[in-house]
Amino acid sequence: MSSQQSGAASGQQVEEVAAEWTVTWQAPGERLEDWCNVHVGEDKTHFASVSEEDGAPVGGHERVWRAQVVDEGDNVSSGWRAEGVGPTEHVSDRPVRYEWATYFPRDYPDNTNVQFQVFTQWHQQDPAEDVTGTSPPVAFIVEEEKILLDLRYIDPEGDIGTSLVLEPKSEIAPLERDIWHYFRAEILWNLGSGWIKVWHSTTRPDFSGSPVERTGLMTIFPLRGPLQESKTLEPGTSYLKVGLYRGDEEKNPKFVVYHDEVRRLANPDDRLGCS
């Protein structure tokens, strides 16, 4: 469905709105109240604001987010998770920009043979009561010692109109431990003409390199009700989740990852809210 490019950012639409971009939401690492919600298991401290005195890595800000997932008590919605929930995105003709930093500590487990590990995602939102959720349309994952961009779309001609199709994954960077990884993602939210550009750096705030670019994407999934009943494509929404979400088959019982300076930039009058 999509195409892939790697080159300098050249989208005229991005350049037109860049001058108007402003920070419309942020969770810099200090207050849980900055998040719309927190998805965590029984131990609420498994997604928390921490400082260097609490074991946070150096190089971030004074306080950062720690997401810790263990095999006991953190099973939520068919996986083990500790995630902060950010704002909800709607179909738009203007892109938005997200920036954040992620740190995988020295003892982050080997992930050569894992089910899945998601550290940033934009999950679908569908108000239908019988919808329990699917894989997200846009996610950043860890797989085979690499950081990958993971994309999916729904095939409207599939079984009852809800068939998920996996796009080819794009490598963003090797999984280097014990350093901060800085990300910038510019996304156009759309049912079929969406796109994403991703910059990665280990030097803050240097995003001068060429981005990984994917176009022709379903960055927002259609609502299942109209799709199943009449093959009508009515847009749902996507909402941000940052932390760690992994499968329950990994042998290592403890996974820890850190995040810092999570923020959204857009035109100030863009629709924005919590799920």
Under the phi-then-psi rule, with left for phi > 0, alpha for psi from -120 to 50, and beta for the rest, what region is 231? Answer: left
Residue 17, domain member (yes or no): yes
Residue 8, domain member (yes or no): yes
Kindly report the CATH number assigned to the domain that includes residue 14.
2.60.120.200
**Span 230-272, pLDDT tens digits:** 677 888 889 999 999 987 765 667 899 999 999 999 987 776 7
What is the predicted pLDDT for the residue at 249? 63
pTM: 0.89
- Between CA 98 and CA 91 the distance in angstroms is 16
What is the predicted pLDDT for the residue at 106? 95
Residue 270, domain member (yes or no): no
pLDDT at 136 over 80: yes
The domain of 115 spans 3-265
Residue 271, domain member (yes or no): no
Mean pLDDT, range 4-17, rounded to an integer? 47
Better-predicted residue by pLDDT, 268 or 77: 268
- Between CA 271 and CA 275 the distance in angstroms is 12
What is the predicted pLDDT for the residue at 268? 76
Residue 272, domain member (yes or no): no
**Span 162-172, pLDDT tens digits:** 578 889 999 99
Mean pLDDT, range 214-242, rounded to an integer? 85
Range of weakest confidence among 4-13, 93-102, 150-159, 244-253: 4-13
Mean pLDDT, range 220-230, rounded to an integer? 77
Mean pLDDT, range 188-204, rounded to an integer? 95
- How far, in whole angstroms, is CA 82 from its chain's centroid? 13
What is the predicted pLDDT for the residue at 12? 45
Q: What percent of the chain has pLDDT over 90?
A: 53
Torsion angle in degrees (nearest 10) through CA of 241, 244, 247, 249: -170
Range of weakest confidence among 50-64, 203-217, 238-252: 238-252
% helix / strand / coil in the chain, to the nearest 5? 10, 45, 45
Residue 103, domain member (yes or no): yes
Residue 183, domain member (yes or no): yes
Residue 274, domain member (yes or no): no
Domain total in the chain = 1
